[in-house]
């Protein structure tokens, strides 16, 4: 489906939960965040219907995000439900990798094609600091199992402050080259003041050719990450919420004062 600027919208990023098992400093404030009420979170059947609706309107690529998607109970079942929808050509997930070693094999069997895993440093102490308590060894194990079960490609999302020449980014790059992993550099973003840039090694942040919509865990179609617009299916109904998100997609991102990464899924 074309948006008002003749961009083909073929990609839907679905946040399946706003919860996470980490507290990354550039995503979650120290004091934590108010989480969505359980009853507001979309049920699997609703997500399945919304994917079918999106596919009927030209979407072919689905990415599952969060919060952390692997903390959503029954996530393997959801992957299976989405993977069997005709027209879903690409089904991927963005994860922090902490639980990946446990789920990778079942996710692959359920129809997941590939994963992006967050890793900003090779230093265990720094990782623990950035994530407020994460164990980097669990991520390494997750990467290893993901490759072994054939999730392909396994990409590494490396958040950088200013450039990919930062020592941590160079160390992650070396690790990726040694382990047949592709790396993408994501410059730290700030929703409130509208700081964002193109993903280095990916296609995010390129407004002129933006092909994506987002669906929040509580059912809002968001035309743009750096914009406050959102159309909730409970208010507008599924079809109308989708159509309004496309029709009102902005030419480019500006800022999003009310949004949170853990609710929208980056």
Q: Tell me which residues touch ligand SF4 (CB under 6 A).
A: 205-207, 210, 212, 224-226, 252-253
Q: Where are the alpha helices (DSSP H) in the chain?
A: 44-56, 75-83, 100-110, 124-130, 136-148, 167-178, 233-236, 238-247, 261-264
Nearer to ligand SF4, 134 or 223 (CB): 223
Pairing of strands 114-118, 90-95: parallel
Check if the beta carbon of residue 212 is closer than 8 Å to that of residue 9.
yes
Smallest distance from ligand SF4 to CB 214, Å = 8
Smallest distance from ligand SF4 to CB 260, Å: 15
Q: How far apart are CA 131 and CA 90, in angstroms?
A: 29
Q: Which is nearer to ligand SF4, 13 or 108 (CB)?
A: 13
Euclidean distance between CA atoms 174 and 178, whole angstroms? 6
Contacts of 38 (CB under 8 A, 6+ apart): none
Min CB(72)–ligand SF4 separation in Å:
23
Tell me the β-bridge partners of 7: none
Q: Which is nearer to ligand SF4, 3 or 218 (CB)?
A: 3
- Cβ 201 to ligand SF4, closest distance in Å? 15
| 177 vs 203, beta carbon nearer ligand SF4 | 203
- Could you tell me the smallest distance in angstroms from the CB atom of residue 103 to ligand SF4? 28
Q: Are 93 and 157 in contact (CB under 8 A)?
A: no
d(CA 89, CA 39): 31
Residue nearest to ligand SF4 (CB): 253
Closest to ligand SF4 by CB, 35 or 199: 199
Rounded to a whole number of angstroms, the distance between the first and last alpha carbons of the chain is 22
CB of 226 to ligand SF4, least distance (A): 4
**Is the Cβ of residue 137 or residue 206 nearer to ligand SF4 in the bound state?**
206
């Amino acid at each position: 489906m074309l948006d008002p600027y003749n961009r083909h919208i073929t990609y839907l990023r679905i946040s399946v939960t706003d919860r996470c098992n980490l507290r990354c400093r550039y995503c979650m404030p120290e004091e934590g965040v108010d989480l969505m009420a359980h009853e507001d979170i979309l049920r699997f059947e609703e997500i399945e219907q919304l994917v079918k609706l999106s596919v009927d309107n030209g979407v072919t690529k689905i990415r599952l995000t969060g919060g952390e998607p692997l903390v959503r109970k029954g996530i393997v079942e959801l992957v299976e439900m989405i993977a069997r929808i005709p027209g879903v050509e690409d089904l991927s997930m963005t994860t922090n990798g902490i639980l990946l070693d446990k789920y990778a094999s079942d996710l692959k069997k359920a129809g997941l094609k590939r994963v992006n895993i967050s890793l900003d440093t090779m230093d265990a102490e720094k990782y623990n600091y950035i994530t407020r308590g994460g164990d980097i060894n669990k991520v390494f194990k997750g990467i290893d199992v993901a490759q072994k079960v054939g999730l392909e490609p396994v990409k590494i999302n490396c958040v950088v402050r200013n450039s990919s020449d930062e020592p941590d980014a160079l160390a992650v790059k070396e690790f990726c080259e040694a382990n047949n992993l592709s790396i993408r550099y994501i410059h730290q973003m700030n929703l409130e003041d509208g700081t964002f840039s193109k993903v280095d090694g990916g296609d995010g942040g390129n407004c002129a050719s933006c092909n994506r919509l987002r669906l929040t865990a509580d059912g809002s179609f968001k035309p743009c990450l750096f914009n406050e617009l959102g159309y909730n299916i409970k208010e507008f109904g599924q079809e109308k919420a989708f159509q309004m998100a496309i029709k009102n997609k902005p030419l480019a991102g500006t800022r999003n004062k009310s949004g949170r990464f853990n609710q929208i899924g980056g």
